[in-house]
Amino acid sequence: MHWERYIKDFVSYLKIEKGLAENSILAYQRDVSLLADYFSSEKSKPEQVRYEQLKTFVAHLYDLGLSARSQARIISGIKQFFRYLILERYIQTDPSELLEQPKLGRKLPEVLEIEEIDALLAAIDLSSPEGPRNHAMLETLYSCGLRVSELIGLRFSDLYFDEGFIRVIGKGNKERLVPVSDRVIEEVNSYQAESRMNLAIKKGQEHFVFLNRRGAALSRVMIFTIIQQLAQKIGLDKQISPHTFRHSFATHLIEGGANLRAVQEMLGHESITTTEIYTHLDQRFLRKAILSHHPRNQSK
């Protein structure tokens, strides 16, 4: 088979067997297609590729001026592709097994203080038609640590308020149960009984909890815009997005002494190493507190 057929089968595998989201599948497809374009010029088929050739390809990525993060993502996609070829027994040995990724500096995400979150929520005009919705929405985003896609996709069938949980459909259609606070329950119920009842809800949109003024599901851009406007309104000097609320949720839990595994479950992280970044954030705040209060660091 040629590269096109291998890539087509690989995409089917990611979609059907792995259950990945469409954006992730497209990213893998782009990465492997880049590899295919490179080796097509050498007239090498996938089963003929060797480790030394892959090292040359990685050097080629560097010559293209790609960032270390972009190179790492592409290499990760290539490794996934060759693991698939091994799984399907198209090849006997994995030429990408020893391929090293460029070292990446760990960038700590922006985090909001609890007082800043309270200020953002307080800046919402509850007398406006969208006010109660925005307040309930951002409270849910922060209190449950949701991704923005999980928030806009939240349905009434996902609400188990009597049990104190919501069901979240995360990446790869994986389900998880997240505890929900009494405040969130109260605000969502209030929004549903008042503001939402006045909307002309479009057919097929009835199941979504949060709707726009036209009675349809909200978009990611709309959530981002709402948060940006509130940040500007209170003069917040931080670059924030919907994901900042998720980072803040995790950081505040770790600071409060929550178990790392429990935080991993609530965030829906497949690997504990992804969650461990919040222990680094916690250490940053711990260092700041020590430097502020230790007698050796007090100004005379």
Set 147, 196, 247, 252: catalytic member? 147
- Strands lying side by side in the sheet with 159-160: 159-160, 165-169, 175-179
Q: Which residue has the tokens 């900042």?
A: 244
- 278 annotated active-site: yes
Structure tokens given for 93:
């040995």
List, in sequence order, the alpha helices (H) in the chain: 3-16, 22-40, 51-63, 68-87, 114-122, 131-144, 148-152, 182-193, 220-233, 242-255, 260-267, 272-275, 277-293
Does the annotation mark 284 as catalytic? Answer: no
Nearest to 58 by CA among 124, 104, 102: 102
Which one of 15, 171, 176, 202 is the catalytic residue? Answer: 171
The answer to whether residue 147 is catalytic is yes
The residues, ordered by sequence, that sit 6+ positions from 217 with a Cβ below 8 Å of its Cβ are: 152, 153, 205, 208, 210, 211
d(CA 27, CA 71): 13
Say whether 246 is catalytic: yes
Marked catalytic residue, from 135, 246, 247, 252: 246
Single out the residue of 289, 260, 290, 258 nearest to residue 277, CA to CA: 260
Catalytic residue, candidates 55, 73, 167, 243: 243
269 is catalytic: yes
- Active-site positions read 147, 171, 243, 246, 269, 278
